Structure 1
Amino acid sequence: MNWLLVVAGGMAGAPLRFLGDRAVQRRHGTAFPWGTFAVNVVGCLVLGVLTGAVMAGAASDQVQLALGTGLCGALTTYSTFSYETLRLAHDGARFFAAANVVASVLAGLGAASAGVACAGALWG
């Protein structure tokens, strides 16, 4: 039964990633992959809040499977991040490639930490 929770979350996360990525990227006409960056940071924030909620006992294992593994797993995209970073480097935009790596890691960790802190303030 747990796999159905993951599938349900993934069914919501995948279209959210596609639509969010396209909406953000349309607003920015640069080579930098702002759409992927945005959905990955949002996914890290959501996963941080969820992790904090689970740690505080405010969310169940089933919610963690549906939202954490399913929704966030489909919303965030390490493969697209990697592809876009390599594409930037290959196209000669090495600064943007390096900036994408550094900014994505720092913003993702920051968003996850902020999410855990927000959950702690709400349920701690």
Structure 2
Amino acid sequence: MTDTTENTHDKPAAAEHGHAESTAPSYDDLNTPMIALIGFLSAVVTFICIIGLQAAYLQYSTTHEAEMRNVPFSNVDSLVTAQQAKLNSGYSWVNKETKTIAMPIDQAMKVVAEQYESN
């Protein structure tokens, strides 16, 4: 009989009156300073990541451009020589139907200059 009386004394007064016991806080308040701190730190971390990625890209692009510019002059000279030989190779047909011919650049410049002088 003592067990039954002890259990009834342990219950709060709200439960005796038929009210349900609630574990939720009595107010709903946001921790504004903590939210502001987390937002600020997130912005700083994002800014640092952006700056770091820009620095890494700049380093990569500078290295890549330097590698691309490292072409031996012998290759460039031989390429220029081959192009000049092709341009100065003489007369040839480009398109027989339209009567278009290819001629050396020096000769073409002389023809164009004569045409403009006669006008």
User: Into which bin does the TM-score normalised by the smaller protein fall?
Assistant: under 0.3
Greater RCO (Cα-Cα under 8 Å, separation 6 or more): 1
Give 1 or 2 for the bigger CA radius of gyration: 2
Q: Which has the higher strand share?
A: 2
Q: Which has the higher helix share?
A: 1
Q: TM-score, normalised by structure 1?
A: 0.24
Q: TM-score, normalised by structure 2?
A: 0.25
